[in-house]
Chains A and B, each alone.
Chain A
Amino acid sequence: MKKTLKPREREQLLGTMYGGPMGLWFTLFFTVPLGIIILYSFMKRGLYGGVEWEFTLDAYRQMFNPSFAMVVVRTLWISVLSTFLCILIAIPCGYAMAKSKHQTFLLFLIIIPFWTNSLIRIYAWISILSTEGFINSLLMRIGLIDSGLKLIYNNGAVVLVLIYMYLPFAILPLFTTIDKFDFSLLDAARDLGATKLGAIVKVMFPNIRSGLSTAFIFTFIPIFGAYTVPLLVGGKDSTMIGNIIVDQVSKTRNWPLASAFSMILTLISLVGVFWMLYNGKREQMQKGSKKTTQQALEHNIKAHHSLRGTK
């Protein structure tokens, strides 16, 4: 560094040197591609894939086509149901883990299946549920059934496997927030006459709101954008938005429609993230510490992602 630089200029230069490469990388491989998607969603479809440079709202209009609308509705109910069940199961788990003396070991147990390749885990479920799979072979051997039950390639299988895949996404943030919760508050509530469940719902839940919203968002968003699970364990009537997007790109070659559906996914994800931030911020305000949006985002994402190795 030359000594002649003013401190402000020097800061600008060093900051750009350090941060610039990553900024450029993200601009080229994230911002521009996302921009292209936004642009394409307002264009006319090309005959053989690609687009024609003509502004139109056709893609968004096509989304109201009953067959697509049904997929959107299905995606919504499958995601809401699976997310809800995940969180319902995860709350007692997070609670038990937070109170346990063997936290690291329990974290291990949750993380090992979680970090195992997602396709392997889906494959494992296929080999359990399929007509000649583990459950059917077992039931037939003990003579409970004569022919294989149809356990796979339906919406039930999709919900089950989605819960399996994303349960740890709900457990980990709930564990981290419940772990910080002051359990003596529950004793106080009980001393004041609350039932055990009443104390948990009325005293603990408001205090772990940020954990609940983080768990909700990080379960809901990937489930809402699920592609592999409905493809591999779903039936003909299990298509979700993720599958439409891929089909529109690779088979039907309607890029504007794929882009429009991607916009829906992106917008819903962003709304979710901001809602999560809002909850995190409100909780911090109640606790009296000020945090910027950025810090709140960092905090929430950190609490969640530091424990996970996969998406």
Chain B
Amino acid sequence: MNYHKYSSKSGFSFSYVMLALVIVFLFIPLFVVVFFSFNSARGMQWDHASLIWYKRLIFESPSLWSAFRNSLIIALTSSVTATVLGSLAAIGIKWYRFHGRSYITTVSYLPMVLPEVIIGISMLIFFSAVKVRLGMFTIFAAHTTFNLPFVFMMVSARLDEFDYSTVEAARDLGANERQTLTKVIIPTIIPAVLSGFLMCITMSLEDFVITFFVSGPGSGTLPLYVYSMIRYGVSPVINALSFVMILGTMVIAFIFRKFLKTVAASS
């Protein structure tokens, strides 16, 4: 690490000031929301500290909790599906040449680069063209679709470091395909599979735009509930909910901390 030399002349340079300002800019809105979640009054005039909005959030918001339940069900099911399909595909594409291989690789990156509105609209039009009723299933399908590329990408990255001769060795020693998969391949890629799974859960819980298009009556997720709160009657309960969700984000970022370091170092 010899490159720290360059800035040694001025420890307090323009770029550091800029970074500090940006971090303040990124956190101010979060602090404002959290601060006012402890306000007893409704508006942005501080009255006195109170936990009333937390009480409302926990005990008097049944529809919020059912939205949260929907979110959890969809996050779990779509993440499991995406993790299984995406990991298997990563293995197949890494090691075998077969018809449709390049089609699958190309198509697996596109959902990540297209705007969310496009994914949402195309699925909405598709589901109504084939006359599938919008609801939990359609949300599940949409979430699995936008989650798949991430698992595929993360597991592929892990497989790049994997020595194929290990698989050949297992086969030479008489392991069949299933044994090779469960005893050799999966133990090696499991960290990437788990990070992919966690990433899916995070993205599924957070998605609003795509869910907005493919949800039907009664299948609203937590972000949709937040949306209706913002759109039709803001109650300070949303401040309390925000704090809970920010805490959740911090926990997830904390779980990811090892992963962040490796990515920052390797990419």
* A interface residues (Cβ-Cβ under 8 A, vs B): 1, 11-23, 25-27, 29-34, 36-37, 40, 49-50, 89, 92-93, 95-97, 99, 101, 103-104, 106-128, 132-134, 136-137, 141, 164, 167-168, 171, 175-176, 179, 182-184, 186-187, 217, 221-222, 224-228, 232, 242, 245-246, 249, 255, 258-259, 262, 265-266, 269-270, 273, 294, 297-298, 301-303, 305-307, 309-311
- A19–B33 touching, CB < 8 Å: no
- B15–A15 touching, CB < 8 Å: no
Q: Which 9 A-B pairs have the closest CB atoms?
A: A225-B115, A18-B92, A15-B98, A15-B96, A183-B3, A124-B29, A19-B92, A22-B89, A33-B126
- A26–B30 touching, CB < 8 Å: no
- A89–B3 touching, CB < 8 Å: no
- Which of the residues A31, A33, A92 comes within 8 Å of B15, measured between beta carbons? A92
A19-B89, A115-B252, A225-B115 in contact; A298/B32 too (CB < 8 A)? no
| Cα of A183 to Cα of B3 in the assembled complex, Å | 5
A1-B177, A110-B23, A183-B6 in contact; A124/B118 too (CB < 8 A)? no
- Chain B residues, CB < 8 A from A108: 253, 257, 260
* B48 part of interface (Cβ distance < 8 Å): no
- B109–A124 touching, CB < 8 Å: no
Which residue of B has the minimal Cβ distance to A114?
Answer: B26
> Mostly helix, strand, loop or mixed at chain B's interface?
helix
- A23–B104 touching, CB < 8 Å: yes
* Nearest CB on B from A44, distance (A): 15
- Chain A residues, CB < 8 A from B28: 128
- A37–B18 touching, CB < 8 Å: no
Q: 7 A–B contact pairs at CB < 8 A?
A: A14-B95, A26-B108, A112-B246, A117-B226, A183-B5, A249-B125, A310-B203
| Cα of A309 to Cα of B146 in the assembled complex, Å | 12
A225-B117, A227-B117, A309-B202 in contact; A297/B152 too (CB < 8 A)? no
* B173 part of interface (Cβ distance < 8 Å): no
| Cα of A40 to Cα of B124 in the assembled complex, Å | 13
- B104–A266 touching, CB < 8 Å: no
- A273–B36 touching, CB < 8 Å: no
* Further contacts, 10 of them, CB under 8 A, given A18-B92, A242-B117: A15-B93, A29-B142, A96-B13, A104-B261, A109-B23, A110-B26, A123-B234, A175-B264, A301-B112, A305-B112
- B121–A137 touching, CB < 8 Å: no
Which residues of B (71-104) have their CB < 8 Å from a CB of A? 85-86, 88-89, 91-93, 95-104
- A97–B110 touching, CB < 8 Å: no
* B interface residues (Cβ-Cβ under 8 A, vs A): 2-7, 13-16, 18-19, 22-23, 25-30, 32-33, 36, 43-45, 85-86, 88-89, 91-93, 95-119, 121-126, 128-129, 141-142, 144-146, 148, 150, 152-154, 156-157, 176-177, 199, 202-203, 205-209, 213, 223, 226-227, 230-231, 234, 238-239, 241-242, 245-246, 249-250, 252-253, 256-257, 260-261, 263-264, 267
* Nearest CB on A from B219, distance (A): 17
- Chain A residues, CB < 8 A from B257: 104, 108
